[in-house]
A and B are shown apart, each in its own frame.
Chain A
């Protein structure tokens, strides 16, 4: 878990990860990733989000290490502001614009899992064939945008992993895109907050599918390396 000045969801993300493994918080000014198997760039804010959301955070010392880690195939999950940071850093395609209605939204949305052949969604590949997840969104700038040709390329290469279910697009995202991964499928960003949907107390535990997917992927990789 990276902590930027302004992060506020890193503790929830840590608690979510601790349900499937161990998790430490990494300081933004520190280049050392402490040998983790996966990095979560959490939600909240970062550096006041001056200029554009995520624009300054991408220059944090820790982000250099995260970029190297990602380029070596390491698993990186960006949630909300973390998604914005990864887009600004060029680790994910596209950009996140202010919501089409210009209002902050905070509500539960239904998500269609588009692809389960990724380290982040593989645990969703069970009955029923197309799983729907109930996970909250809370953001001001979550409208996913990429140019037309890029969108077509993303769809063709199966990089759109999550889509808002019909009628649930909360922000005007193009093609109802809620989460995309990179071409190598080891970096994934989404606007909804899976870390807020891991306890029955808050209404849904569907976020756990993503964390369980990452756990399984890490175990598989360790087995292959052994």
Chain B
């Protein structure tokens, strides 16, 4: 399967990247944007989806500072 792992800073941890983006948007005329969080996305093809949470905990994220969400990608194969 192809999966997408969405990684973002844990709630409550200062996210200066998110803050910088939030401050930049009004300069372009985009108003009313709040709570921006900047993280990263990891896409992968894998044989055994059951291993993915463990991969996330041990390498793809640092559980102390990051939360993750696993999304099944519908495109089936790598682009």
Which residues of A line the B interface, CB within 8 A?
A: 51-52, 55, 88, 94-95, 97-102, 143, 145-147, 172
Q: A100-B14, A102-B20 are in contact. Are A146 and B64 (CB under 8 A)?
A: yes
Interface residues of B in 54-68 (CB under 8 A from A): 59-60, 62, 64-65
Residues of B within 8 A of A (CB): 13-14, 16-17, 20, 59-60, 62, 64-65
Could you count the A-B residue pairs with CB atoms below 8 Å apart for me: how many are there? 30
- Whether the pair A97, B17 counts as a contact (CB closer than 8 A) is no
With contact pairs A101-B16, A102-B17, A145-B13 given, residues A95 and B59 touching in the complex (Cβ less than 8 Å): no
Given known contacts A51-B59, A55-B59, is B65 in contact with A172 (CB within 8 Å)?
A: no
Q: List 9 A-B contacts (CB under 8 A).
A: A51-B59, A51-B60, A97-B65, A98-B16, A98-B17, A99-B16, A145-B13, A145-B65, A172-B16
* Contacting pair A94 B64 (CB below 8 A): yes
CA distance A135 to B20 in the complex (A): 30
How far is B58's CA from A91's CA once the two chains are assembled, in angstroms? 14
Given the complex, which residues of B lie within 8 Å of A52, measured CB to CB? 62
Q: Decide if B16 touches A100 in the complex (CB within 8 Å).
A: yes
Q: Do A147 and B64 have beta carbons less than 8 Å apart?
A: yes
Q: Which residues of A contact B65 (CB under 8 A)?
A: 95, 97, 145
Please tell me if the beta carbons of B64 and A95 are within 8 angstroms of each other in the complex.
yes
Determine the residue in chain B with the shortest Cβ distance to A146: B64
Min CB–CB distance B62 → chain A (angstroms):
6
Docked CA distance A102–B20 (Å): 9
Min CB–CB distance B5 → chain A (angstroms) = 11
Of chain B, the residue at the smallest CB distance from A88 is B62
Provide the residues of chain A in CB contact with B17, threshold 8 Å: 98, 102
Tell me, in angstroms, the Cα distance from A97 to B59 when the chains sit together: 16
Give CA–CA (A5, B34) in the complex, Å.
Answer: 40
- Tell me the complex Cα distance, A119–B17, Å: 37
CB distance from B59 to the nearest CB of A (A): 7
Question: B62 contacts A95, CB within 8 Å?
Answer: yes
CB distance from A175 to the nearest CB of B (A): 14
Apart from A51-B59, A94-B64, A97-B65, what 9 extra A-B contacts exist at CB < 8 Å?
A51-B60, A55-B62, A95-B62, A97-B14, A99-B16, A102-B17, A102-B20, A143-B14, A145-B64
A45 to B65 alpha-carbon distance, docked (Å): 21
